[in-house]
Amino acid sequence: MVRTLLLVWLINALALLALPYVVPSVHVDSFATALIAALVLGLVNSLIRPLLILLTLPVTLVTLGLFVFVINALLFWFVASFVTGFAVGGFWSAFFGAIVYALISWAVSHLVFGPPRVVVVRRDI
């Protein structure tokens, strides 16, 4: 469990390091900065993001879920505003940066861990 968590953290940090090659207005200074930013992004996405999605549920429903992209961009931009060495050029850079970051992270995680497994438990009563 801990090994998997550390591996996901490393994958997210590597995705942040690869991000400036795809979105040039995103800047990451070093691998240590990427590790810190990945940790803060993970904490923000697990603690603050669900609350924001719940609070903006009417807007999210009206936009058929597209407002979640705006929330992701704002949180990405928010993390970049206080992690030194991690910079984002503006809202649209954060918007596309968050999308590309998620895609890179998902693709590498899929390569490392493989497709998700579905376990079916049958109970014969």
CA distances from 26 to 8, 63, 81, 92, 116 (A): 21, 27, 12, 11, 30
pLDDT at 124 over 80: no
pLDDT at 113 over 90: no
If DSSP codes are grouped into helix, strand and coil, which group holds residue 94? Answer: helix
Distance of CA 125 to the CA centre of its chain: 43
Distance of CA 101 to the CA centre of its chain: 6
- 38 close to 13: Cβ distance less than 8 angstroms: yes
Chain segment 85-107, per-residue pLDDT in tens = 999 999 999 999 999 999 999 99
What's the confidence (pLDDT) of residue 63? 93
What's the confidence (pLDDT) of residue 121? 85
Chain segment 16-26, per-residue pLDDT in tens = 999 999 999 99
Mean residue pLDDT across the chain:
91
pLDDT at 116 over 80: no
Chain segment 28-82, per-residue pLDDT in tens = 999 999 999 999 999 999 999 999 999 999 999 999 999 999 999 999 999 999 9
